[in-house]
Amino acid sequence: MTAKTAPAPKAAATPAEPTPCECSRYSVLSNVREAENGDLTWDQELTTGCTATTKRKFAPGHDAKLKSALIRWGAEGHEIRYDDGGMSTTADAATLAAKFPFGHMVAAGIKRAEDKAAAKAERDAARAARKAAPKKPKAVKAKVGRTVREGVVEGDEFVYADKDGSEKRTAKFELV
């Protein structure tokens, strides 16, 4: 008979220390400018707002939070700041997102947002051009003497075409 031996105990995996979530390391300095004393100053620091700690790279759902923030900041044209334990790196959103599996989605999202903004600007410009263009007067019918004529009102005159096609103007008319 052989003796039964217990299997050797597995080495207990030491749990990793909780670290700040990866998305908390990204931020944007909004409206960076030079102050009177020569130092750089900014109006606002935009962050993901994450304060979570996790044993993984991202807290649950925070990869999506970072992805949407990078798309929004990239579409607005901001330079993103990445803080790696005291060492800051600045780059555009697509470059910083390239190291993640969702990097291609960030690049596509930025392009889509830029295309949407360009289309909106084009529509606004076309709308402004239509508003600025002289308006064609609306054709109306008016009684001139005993005859009802079709023409347009310009100021206080009625302009119409006579039988022979020549343009006539009169101040004495009554709209029908």
Selected residue with higher pLDDT from 51 and 35: 51
In a domain, 170, yes or no: yes
Q: Is the pLDDT of residue 31 over 80?
A: no
- pLDDT value at position 171? 92
Span 145-171, average pLDDT: 91
CB-CB contact of 81 with 90 (8 Å): yes
Choose the most confident range, by mean pLDDT, from 4-8, 68-72, 76-80.
Answer: 68-72
Asked whether residue 3 is domain-assigned, the answer is no
Residues 53 and 74 in one domain: yes
CA distances from 54 to 7, 10, 14, 102 (A): 33, 25, 15, 20
> Does residue 128 share a domain with residue 147?
no
* The pLDDT of residue 163: 85
Average pLDDT value for residue range 92-111: 94
CB-CB contact of 51 with 35 (8 Å): no
Mean pLDDT of the chain: 87
Q: Is the pLDDT of residue 109 over 90?
A: yes
Residue 170 has pLDDT above 60, yes or no: yes
pLDDT at 11 over 80: no
13 has a pLDDT exceeding 60: no
pLDDT digits (tens, 9 = 90+) for 121-133: 999 999 999 888 8
pTM of the model: 0.63
Domain check: are 83 and 128 in the same one? yes
Strand partners, 46: 28
CB 83 within 8 A of CB 22: no
Domain that holds residue 23: 19-132
Looking at the structure, tell me whether residues 116 and 165 fall in a common domain: no
Residues 98 and 162 in one domain: no
Residues 56 and 123 in one domain: yes
Count of structural domains within the chain:
2
Q: Is residue 89 situated within a structural domain? A: yes
